[in-house]
Amino acid sequence: MRYSAWSLVRGALSGHRHWAPAWHDAVPREKYDVLIIGGGGHGLATAYYLAKNHGLTNVAVVERGWIGGGNTGRNTTIVRSNYLFAESARLYDFSLRLYEGLSRDLNFNIMLSQRGLVMLAHSRHDLDSMSRWANAMRMNGIAAELLTREQVAQMAPALDLSPRARLPILGGFAQRRAGTARHDAVAWGYARAASARGVHILQNCEVRGFIRGGGAIVGVDTSRGRILAERIGIAAAGHSSVLAKMAGFKLPVTSYALQAMVSEPIKPILDTVVLSPGTGAYVSQSDKGEIVLGAMLDLFPSYAQRGSFAVKQAIVAATLALFPAFSRLQLLRQWAGIVDVVHDSSPIIGPTPIPGLYINCGWGTGGFKAIPVGGWTLAHALATGQNHPLAEPFQLQRFVTGRLIDEAAASGIAH
């Protein structure tokens, strides 16, 4: 069923009793051409682009919980492409461009809101590194604007720019095409569009082992039985290294908790996304009116989706120093997701050392914005056996050759 104004009217006239389920709950087949482990945004996007770009529809996505229940449904919904190296700029801007047409492509409103993103400079050093960063973006063909203090104040008037502010704001830089998108809608939209093309979405289906044959991986043992597949893709974020270990290889990935929280909803007060790289805090206002606070990593390996108190306290303190008016808000919810951090803060998309097994991981704190390109490039590798040109620099092999793309050291990218 296509969603449209007309289908809404028709639904209303029949008391909204005849809406079809957005995707089918499939029964597993014995064998698929391609099987994807992980029903987050990356896994679902991979399935969709396998069907749409490569005509492969004998495809299943196996998810141990419910789709979008991992980091895809836990993130702070920020999309942007303000990276420093040309390889990253190409990758993330391709993703942002796919996001720009995604609601139409999927026939599902992902609520993309390109409200802009402001990085705050708290010192002369921040100003210097941000001018280098903004210039690098421009050289990569991505618009970026250096901002004076007054321009920052115009974009986010609730910030404390008084002379007595605890965190001085000297200026910053903005990417106007950045913004937010509804995270659940991205997972649901890809699931619905993939299912409509014949992809099987298998929820409550945990992969517990791999089936081998002739040196390659030929299937998986799951909580719903054995499933064979010609090729398998892993898109399991914080659990990538667990699955890699099951398959018999090692990944340079460490899993950490990353937390976020939201306040009670209030009237519109913040019409852009504000990041303070110096403190690790970042803030936006959801369409429901909640103030969304993002944090830095809990810097010890963990699989517990909670997060520690010290990080929470530091982020709330930094946010209140930036926006003193928020001190009267009640926090409604706090949570964490387990993110897959690679030493150079760049992803891994391509083949693994095991024949027939491919992987998409290492997005760490910033893979929501990359869901379209992550799916696009993994689908390309699974369908053709070749790396997509955008993914070529992001191979596992770079940890052998040393050709790292170190966005953490270069731009201090945290999310």
Residues forming contacts to ligand FAD in the complex (CB under 6 A) are: 37-43, 62-65, 69-72, 74-78, 206-207, 235-237, 239, 243, 258-260, 294, 337, 339, 363, 365-369, 415
Q: How far is the CB of 359 from ligand FAD (least distance, A)?
A: 10
The per-residue DSSP string of 238-295 comes to GGHHHHHHHHT---SEEEEEEEEEEEEE-SS---SEEEETTTTEEEEE-TTSEEEEEE
Q: What token pair was written down for 275?
A: 């990041």
Q: For residues 294 and 372, which CB has a smaller minimum distance to ligand FAD in the complex?
A: 294
Q: Which amino acid appears at position 248 of this protein?
A: G
Q: How far is the CB of 139 from ligand FAD (least distance, A)?
A: 23
Q: For residues 170 and 368, which CB has a smaller minimum distance to ligand FAD in the complex?
A: 368
Compute the distance between CA of residue 40 and CA of residue 46 in angstroms, rounded to an integer.
10
Q: How far is the CB of 321 from ligand FAD (least distance, A)?
A: 21
Q: How far is the CB of 260 from ligand FAD (least distance, A)?
A: 4
Dihedral, CA of residue 169, residue 170, residue 173 and residue 176, to nearest 10: 60
Helix axes 41-54, 183-196, angle to 10 degrees: 40
Q: For residues 63 and 126, which CB has a smaller minimum distance to ligand FAD in the complex?
A: 63
Q: For residues 70 and 172, which CB has a smaller minimum distance to ligand FAD in the complex?
A: 70
Locate the DSSP E strands across 176-238.
179-180, 200-202, 207-213, 216-222, 225-234
Q: How far is the CB of 92 from ligand FAD (least distance, A)?
A: 9
Measured between alpha carbons, how far is residue 288 from residues 103, 179, 266, 285 in Å? 19, 15, 8, 8
Compute the distance between CA of residue 43 and CA of residue 37 in angstroms, rounded to an integer.
7
DSSP three-state, residue 321? helix
Q: How far is the CB of 249 from ligand FAD (least distance, A)?
A: 16
Q: For residues 19 and 301, which CB has a smaller minimum distance to ligand FAD in the complex?
A: 301
Compute the distance between CA of residue 100 and CA of residue 13 in angstroms, rounded to an integer.
32
Q: For residues 78 and 390, which CB has a smaller minimum distance to ligand FAD in the complex?
A: 78
Q: How far is the CB of 354 from ligand FAD (least distance, A)?
A: 16
Q: For residues 71 and 129, which CB has a smaller minimum distance to ligand FAD in the complex?
A: 71
Q: For residues 84 and 339, which CB has a smaller minimum distance to ligand FAD in the complex?
A: 339
Q: How far is the CB of 10 from ligand FAD (least distance, A)?
A: 33
Q: For residues 42 and 122, which CB has a smaller minimum distance to ligand FAD in the complex?
A: 42
Q: What token pair was written down for 81?
A: 């492409």
Q: How far is the CB of 261 from ligand FAD (least distance, A)?
A: 9
Instruction: Tell me which DSSP letter residue 326 carries.
Output: G
**Of 290, 241, 235, which is closest to residue 264 (Cα–Cα)?**
290
Looking at beta carbons, which residue is closest to ligand FAD?
A: 40
Q: What token pair was written down for 187?
A: 């997972």
Residues with Cβ < 8 Å from 268, sequence gap 6 or more?
Answer: 285, 289
Compute the distance between CA of residue 212 and CA of residue 220 in angstroms, rounded to an integer.
9
Give the full edge-to-edge strand order of the sheet including 117-121: 145-148, 171-175, 117-121, 273-276, 281-285, 290-301, 253-265, 331-342
